[in-house]
Amino acid sequence: MEVPILRIGSVKAVTRFQEHLRSLGVTIPCDREIERGTNSPLRLPIRSGGIKIGNRIAVQPMEGWDGTSEGNPSESTVRRWRRFGASGAKLIWGGEAVAIAPEGRANPNQLLIAHHTEKDLAQLRTTLVDEHRRATGSDDGLLIGLQLTHSGRYCRPNKHDRAEPRIAFHHPILDRRLRLPEDFPLLTDAEIESIVEQFHVAAVRAWKLGFDFVDIKHCHGYLAHELVAAHTRGGSYGGSFENRTRFLRQIVEGIRAGAPGLYIGVRLSAFDTVPFRHDPERSSSGKLGPGIPEHYENLIPYRYGFGVNPLNPTQADLTETIRFLSLLEDLGIRLVNLTAGSPYYNPHIQRPALYPPSDGYQPPEDPLIGVARQMEATRFLKQKFPKLIMVGSAYSYLQEFLPHVAQAALRLGWVDSVGLGRMMLTYPEILWDATEGHVIQRKRICRTFSDCTTAPRKGLPSGCYPLDSYYKESELAERLTELKMQ
Ligand SMILES: Cc1cc2nc3c(=O)[nH]c(=O)nc-3n(C[C@H](O)[C@H](O)[C@H](O)COP(=O)(O)O)c2cc1C
Ligand code: SF4
């Protein structure tokens, strides 16, 4: 019998939550008591390969849609980074995706790293550090990176509703979604080489601005992630594993030469699945149906993903993920952040949620299954690569029980650092509060309404409209309601 989806907000006792996990048949470790103070597993430092991180709490990168059109931070961006600083997290993984070139932006208000944005980006970092020091008493062990990106297939540099894709290969399902003709041009090898150079320049800038590391983003369907899946591409960047990872290796080589003191990290979609869509047969009165995979039966062996089983692409296959992590070790990269899938074509895999974004679908499974899937992949990979510092993702859906699960996962060595995305928009200090022994403020817990995704896709700035008073007070909340009704 199918177990109904549990509304976590209605559960008072951790034992009831544990019971639900058992009935779902998923393995998510969950402690009953939260340990306080500096001995809490969440507060222990990480020291590895010269890298020092003061605790096990990380802020995940979250793309901003509120920079200026020139790519500088706005007041809202500064506010968000200040709150990241106040979270108590000692690892700031990227802050948000920052484009390495104007044409590689995912939205016209995404931050850009360039000569004219240097001053404000440096200030953004300083604001975060100052706030962190104010909130926690010290910035010792604070490690801050910048996530560098080219959005590839998902470039929208000029208008929020105008896709300007730069693709690495033809994807039979995703090309159709973007209405790309068969002869739509691929990025040439020469164009990819010049993007590699743009990454070099961007990383050197980030280093000079005082960032401790850069993340060469390899996730969520953006360019570098598409390249590792470019099995069907010819030339130097497609086909063999060696060719598909050439982009990474060339970027790393140039960074090492130009910014020798800069650490490098990689955020990777460790596995993927075929694109999902809502089931029209189960949609009713404007409510989207649950997600189902697009037809892929005529595409076997499936050659359009990374970390998928080619014979059954709805299942993960970590063989190449393991190879990729070995390559990172060989390249001397220690900082790894594991995520999965893409928000564009399988959001339930990437960010488990009860409510879908407006262009999504109802959850095809209890979102806790999605949380467990990412946690299990991270556990498995951490076991294989004990020397890599691994950050895990997709914890926000755990809501009240996030501290219990985070503590247990760290205690058991499933992961080195617990990364929070959406929860950082509503209640950045949740894990800090838990380990300080403060009462958890239930009203501030992210309930995965997905408005932080829906709103920007409709042209509104970033933020949590339902729970963050900053947005409630502004007229934007009204505007969002209007848009929802359209
Ligand atoms: C509004 C929003 C923007 C995001 N932007 C990025 C991004 O720029 N880079 C990235 O790697 N992940 C991005 N993500 C994904 C998050 O980092 C994270 O992996 C995801 O939300 C799941 O974690 P959570 O359950 O803690 O939210 C974004 C997520 C949200 C909700
Ligand atoms: S809009 Fe707010 S409550 Fe909803 S998912 Fe985003 S952060 Fe969470």
For the chain, what percent of residues have pLDDT higher than 70? 97
Q: Per-residue pLDDT tens for 197-255? A: 999 999 999 999 999 999 999 999 999 999 999 999 999 999 999 999 999 999 999 99
- 356 — pLDDT class (breaks 50, 70, 90): confident
Q: Rounded mean pLDDT of the chain?
A: 95
Peptide bond into 466 cis (omega under 30): no
Give the per-residue pLDDT at 471.
76
Distance CA 139, CA 131 (A): 9
Q: Is ligand 1 within 6 A of the CB of residue 61?
A: yes
| Reduced 3-state DSSP string for the chain | CCCCCCCHHHCCCHHHHHHHHHHHCCCCCCCCCCCCHHHCHHHCCEEECCEEECCCEEECCCCCCCCCCCCCCCHHHHHHHHHHHHCCCCEECCCCEEECCHHHCCCCCCCECCHHHHHHHHHHHHHHHHHHHHHHCCCCCCEEEEEEECCHHHCCCCCCCCCCCCECCCCHHHHHHCCCCCCCCECCHHHHHHHHHHHHHHHHHHHHCCCCEEEECECCCCHHHHHHCCCCCCCCCCCCHHHHCHHHHHHHHHHHHHCCCCEEEEEEECCCCCCEEECHHHCECCECCEEEECCCHHHCCCCCCCCEECCEEEEECCHHHHHHHHHHHHCCCCEEEEECCCCCCCHHHHCCCCCCCCCCCECCCCHHHHHHHHHHHHHHHHHHCCCCEEEECCCHHHHHHHHHHHHHHHHCCCCCEEEECCHHHHCCCHHHHHHHCCCCCHHHCCCCCCHHHHHHHCCCCCCCCCCCHHHHHCCHHHHHHHHHHC
With tokens 């939205």, the residue in question is 107
Local confidence band at 486 (pLDDT 50, 70, 90 cut-offs): very low
* CA 439 – ligand 2 centroid, Å: 21
Determine contact, residues 128/82, Cβ cutoff 8 Å.
yes
What ligand 2 atom has the least distance to the C-alpha of 353? Answer: 5
C-beta of 111 in contact with ligand 2 (< 6 A): no
**Bridge partners for 43 per DSSP:** none
| Shortest-distance atom of ligand 2 to CA 455 | 1
Distance 394 CA to ligand 1 centre (A): 8
Dump pLDDT digits (tens) for 407-431.
Answer: 999 999 999 999 999 999 999 999 9
Cβ of 447 below 6 Å from ligand 2: yes
**Residue 99 structure tokens:** 């484009």
Cβ–ligand 2 distance for 464 under 6 Å, the answer: yes
CB 370: neighbour CB atoms within 10 A?
25
> Does the Cβ of 209 fall within 6 Å of ligand 2?
no
Q: Tell me, using a 6 A CB cutoff, whether residue 356 lines ligand 1.
A: no
- The response to whether residue 120 sits with its C-beta less than 6 Å from ligand 2 reads no
Interatomic CA distance for residues 300 and 310, integer angstroms: 7
pLDDT of 475: 52
Give CA separation, 293 vs 220, 260, 333, 345, in Å. 17, 44, 35, 10
In this prediction, residue 461 has a pLDDT band, given cuts at 50, 70 and 90, of confident
Q: Which of the ligands is closest to the CA of residue 448?
A: 2
Amino acid at 212: D
Give tens-digit pLDDT for 305-348.
Answer: 999 999 999 999 999 999 999 999 999 999 999 999 999 999 99
Please check the confidence at residue 163 and state whether its pLDDT lies above 80.
yes
Q: Which residue CA neighbors atom 4 of ligand 2 most closely? A: 449
More confident residue, 189 or 455: 189
* 223 and 269 Cβ atoms separated by less than 8 Å: no
Distance (Å) from CA 268 to ligand 1 centroid: 12
Which residues lie closer than 8 Å to 26 by C-beta, 6 or more apart? 368, 369, 372
State whether the beta carbon of 448 lies less than 6 angstroms from ligand 2. yes
**CA-CA distance, 15 to 19, in Å (whole number)?**
6
Are 357 and 291 in contact, with CB atoms under 8 Å apart?
no
Whole-angstrom Cα distance, residue 294 to residue 430? 37
Residue 46 banded pLDDT, cuts 50, 70, 90? very high
**Is the CB of residue 339 less than 8 Å from the CB of residue 255?**
no
Cα-based distances in Å from 359 to 185, 289, 347:
27, 11, 10
How many whole angstroms from 276 Cα to the centroid of ligand 1?
18
Gap from CA of 34 to ligand 2 centroid (Å): 25
Cα(44) to centroid of ligand 1, in Å?
A: 25
* Residue 47 neighbours by CB under 8 Å, 6+ apart: none
Q: What is the pLDDT of residues 176-198, one digit of tens each?
A: 999 999 999 999 999 999 999 99
Is the pLDDT reported for residue 483 higher than 70? Answer: no
In this structure, the number of other CB atoms found within 10 A of the CB of residue 50 comes to 7
CA atoms within 13 A on the CB side of 237: 24
CA distance 206 to 212: 8
The Cα 173–Cα 435 span in angstroms is 45
Ligand 1 atom at minimum distance from 337 CA = 11
Cα gap 13→366, rounded to integer Å? 19
Residues 109-136: pLDDT tens digits?
999 999 999 999 999 999 999 999 999 9
Between the CA of 426 and the centroid of ligand 2 the distance, in Å, is 7
- CA-based nearest residue to 474, from 458, 463, 485, 484: 463
